[in-house]
Amino acid sequence: MTAQDKIAETVKAHDVVLYMKGTKEMPQCGFSSRVAGVLNFMGVEYQDVNVLADEEIRQGIKDYSDWPTIPQLYVKGEFVGGCDIITEMTLSGELDTLFEQNGVAYDKDAADKIREANA
């Protein structure tokens, strides 16, 4: 199975997938930490994939999405974006809307707290 096949299988098997450096419990870069922190705080169930553990996946995810950086968030098999895009979507409420449209459970009060803290 190629890296592309593994990635396609993973993003189809889970509603929310975060390709990141490290794990959701122990992120290994600031950008991965920020996105995992948002998802964790909002109570989103997601699959984390540590790209540092597999060089083929680390390069493969960049080719798969045609996006040069990590982390990368996928919702229902669709690439959403990296750290800056997820941060903007969280602050604007777009991430809430995306989760609602895709039936992904999250804590609305926690999302509101993030926006209040960054207002």
Q: Binding site for [2Fe-2S] cluster: what residues are annotated?
A: 29
Max distance between CA atoms of the chain, in angstroms, equals 46
Sheet containing 72-75: give its strands across. Answer: 47-50, 16-20, 72-75, 78-81
Extract the tokens encoding 33. 């930490």
Could you list the residues known to form a binding site, using ranges. Answer: 29
Are residues 17 and 74 in contact, defined by beta-carbon separation less than 8 angstroms?
yes
Burial of 67 (0-12, 13-18, 19+ CB in 10 A): middle
Reported as type and span, the H/E element at residue 78 is strand 78-81
